[in-house]
Chains A and B, each alone.
Chain A
Amino acid sequence: MRDFAEVALDVARGAGAGYADVRVVEERENRVYVRRRSLQLIDENESFGYAVRVLIYGAWGFASSTLLSKDSVAATARMAVATALASGKARRMPPIVMAPEPAHVETCVGPCEEDPFRVSHGEKADLLLCACDAMLRVPGVVMTMGLLEFSRVHRIIATTDGTCVDTTNHFAHPMLQAVAVVGGESQERSYQGGARQAGYEFIRSLDLMANAPRWAEEAVRKCTADPSPAGIMDLVLDPDHLALTMHESVGHPTELDRILGWESNFAGRSFISPEDVGRLTYGSPIVNFTVDNTMPSGVGSWFYDDDGVAMQTFPIVRQGLLVGLGTTRETAPLIGGLRSAGCCRADGFRSFPINRIPNLYMEPGTDDSVTPDTLIAGVDRGVYIQGRGSFSIDQMRNNFQFGGDMFWLIEHGKVTKPLKKVTYRAQTRQFWGSCDAIAGRAHWKPFGLMNCGKGEPSQRMRMTHGASYCRFRNISVGEANA
């Protein structure tokens, strides 16, 4: 493969490229999808392809192909050169300069104890069919859905800087959902544990069969629950829920390409400006966010990003203050960065790598004696929210509205009854500024997200978030149904 890569890099050098890379991506995928008692899909797929990315006179070109021969690789590289020369007609000024990165030569394999591609298809299908059957046996449940997705991604990245890395990562992603109808009301309840960089051992650890009836019963219970209260009140949010809140209101606004306006046409920009780093109060003094692309089992822990930059750990928010951003080799120098933060990713060989949210988590509270019950005990009237539900945020990442998967009314320091249709709405900095308590490390939990959409053409990306339970004061609840 190295020989093929050299063919492409030689074409790029010959055309005057200041930088070029070749990224070969080989993927295997296995999906099992059940709706009610029907195995709707069970498949095993492979894809192979490579892309040549060239930077000529400060403008990008990119071409991809699935045809692997020296002639095809050379032709693909020439196509990349042609697109770079076309880009030069509207080149950014000053021209693109890549942040330096040491040359890396390494082969790395991520965690996978039990190869999912060696687990029988029958076993996977039976798991979902049995779990869906168990949920359908709960009176009121009308539809169930189960999904298992496994993938193995093998990448080889070779650059004109001398980097040649070979990485393999496995990902496991389950989903399970019950939909109940009682009277004229319909509600859902789902598995909320997210994805993991792991093999089939992750699925075995979840005990989906044991939990499925409870989720089904809670879906039914939601149908007859009281609707959301409305007004200003306190929230206690669980780690599965906070994964999405931080994704939208911390992860995306701190992507430097958005801050620079490069996503204006689709995914939007950010309320942050580069000058805000080190100055902007993002949250209360107990709020700390950290990037850790070396996180064990994190779905964004790829050893090297698609710029060939080694994965890193660094702070984004410390004691409520914005101190870092997610950057790439292209974006970092534009704000005076000396090295990329390793946040450049593509969702496949055919996609141009872009600035992406890394593994990003909220640090647990420093007081280990603080528990979820402690947080709830401190609320006179509020809502405890579990899991992810409705989510929407404006294109500058200010105004957001979130729902959840399960809701409980808190009265006088105690959870009293289930609720349905709860939403809350806040402005990003107001929200994180209202965080007044965080449970300790024992309650911290990671959450792997597999389908973050961004870019044009749209790309899906993976990253792991994490949090402990948190309490937020004086948040507007129930506007959606007011």
Chain B
Amino acid sequence: MRTREDVQALTARVLSRVSAPEAQIEYGFTRSLTTRFAENAITQNRGGEEEELRLTVAYGSRHGSSAINTVDDGALERLVTRAEAIARVAPEDPEHVPPLGPQQYPQTPSRLDPRVARMEPGAIADHVQHIIGLAGEHGYVASGLMGATVKTAALATSAGLHAFYRYSKVELSTTMHGPQGSGYAAESSWTAGDVDPDAIARRALATAHSAQAPRAAEPGDYTVILEPLAVADLLLFMAMNLGAREAEEGSTALAGTLGTQLLSERFTLTTEIDDPRLPAAPFSDDGLPSRRIAWIERGVPRRLHHSRYWARVKGESPDPSLFPLCIAGEDRSVDDLVARCARGLLVKRLWYIRYVDRKELLLTGMTRDGLFLVEDGRISCPVKNLRFNESPLVLFRNIVGLSRHGYVNNFMRLPAVMSEGFTFSSTTESV
């Protein structure tokens, strides 16, 4: 694994070969171990590492790019030759923006855990063996994934920018299947200490145990309590629609909503970079410094994402990455939300979500791995999975309660959301 100095020397070596007036070189390195298991056995076990270099050069507004994954003199020569050859013949791009010069980056805390970098396949297999053992003891079948990854991202430009970031990620997810129902749990973090295989396995087992022998539930409008994992899946689609340009073109649901009371006053959406649990890079892919951004405050959209080009057109400042994305929570547990629910559905996980109508932000998808009927403030029984056709705008407009936040997929901090009038349209026998 190259040091910061080695990477800087490598990117400088590439830039020194470039004759085009503008150049940007991106460096990436990934070392990963991933172990998959299913039916109480390891089914795949892999490891590897790889570097990548991506070069973009420009002559005026004509640009071209190239990428390689081997680093030797021949490959570096091809990298530069190809990018320059493309740029010389490319048509002018009216939206071209030149590469950034030196930037002032925030001092985000380190998200590199040496324990993750040193993790061996045998140690991962030990954790998997433990999870499988627990499943067997309780009469369930375990499947899942455990992985350990170390990544480096670096950026350098002909205008003098140098950026470098290294981080680690450990992830574990597991599904426990019983004869008539399943449960799922997952954690990921930059540090191994946050991912407790025993606790994760027991959480999945508890859900699976409760999910056995589901009853049929009629499709219709329900009060729902979506756990953070399910909220995250819907929020991602909303995040894809936060573009300022697309809103101005009129093709997204956020068009014309700035400053209006679009969602519940309980809903606040921000990008946060100072949570020590979330791996916020100090810079975005395009080199912009990361910063806190309030997108939606108390239900009112305040800011849409401006790319560097669109910011120039509109006379705005450009926005870095949306992630880590956070919804503010409230001081109560998921159990407290259940206790407040007269009749509704507790949703553990969603699956196969797709647009039905992009402009309305209408989505469809299925529940899976634990769907429960809540009656009179308690979980009364598991129910068969349902298909929903609903918009996250409706979910976040009709909020009646939020829990304390949890962390999802290492890039989101979200509460469980209790909301009214969530539409389910059909059922399935699949468990």
Contacts and interface: CB of A to CB of B under 8 A. Distances in A.
Contacts of B428: 394, 396, 398-399, 427
A482 B425 contact: yes
A352 B362 contact: no
A38 B354 contact: no
Interface residues on A, range: 35 or more
A390 B237 CA distance: 14
A479 interface: yes
Interface in A143-201: 143, 179, 181, 184-188
Contacts of A474: none
A260 B46 contact: no
Contacts of B63: 39, 42
Contacts of B354: 390-392
B177 interface: yes
Contacts of A37: 94
Nearest to B368: A395
Interface in B25-53: 32-51
B64 interface: yes
Contacts of B129: 89-90
B42 A91 contact: yes
A392 B64 contact: no
B132 to A, nearest CB: 5
Contacts of A456: 34, 36, 145
Contact of A126 (B49, B91, B362, B427): B91
Nearest to B177: A264
B69 A48 contact: yes
- Dominant SS among interface residues on chain B: strand
B110 interface: no
Interface in B171-207: 173-175, 177, 182, 184
- Dominant SS among interface residues on chain A: mixed
Interface in A355-372: none
A266 B409 CA distance: 14
A38 B308 CA distance: 14
A193 B187 CA distance: 40
Nearest to B38: A262
Given A66-B51, A394-B368, A395-B366, A261 B69 contact: no
A264 B93 contact: no
B90 A39 contact: yes
Interface stretch (B118-126, B265-273, B334-342, B397-405): B118-126
Given A59-B42, A395-B366, A186 B125 contact: no
A401 B364 contact: yes
B365 interface: yes
B426 A399 contact: yes
B356 interface: yes
Contacts of A479: 389, 425-426
Interface in B83-138: 83, 85-86, 89-91, 93-95, 120-122, 124-126, 128-129, 132
B1 interface: no
B21 interface: no
A158 B88 CA distance: 41
A424 to B, nearest CB: 11
B46 A83 contact: yes
B8 to A, nearest CB: 21
Contact of A399 (B66, B355, B427): B427
B356 A423 contact: yes
A65 B49 contact: yes
15 contacts: A43-B65, A44-B65, A45-B67, A48-B70, A51-B48, A82-B122, A91-B42, A143-B251, A184-B359, A396-B429, A399-B430, A421-B357, A481-B362, A481-B389, A482-B425
Given A86-B42, A126-B91, A479-B389, 18 more contacts: A42-B86, A43-B67, A48-B70, A51-B48, A63-B48, A83-B33, A86-B122, A92-B41, A121-B89, A122-B91, A179-B249, A184-B250, A354-B44, A390-B354, A392-B353, A396-B428, A398-B428, A399-B426
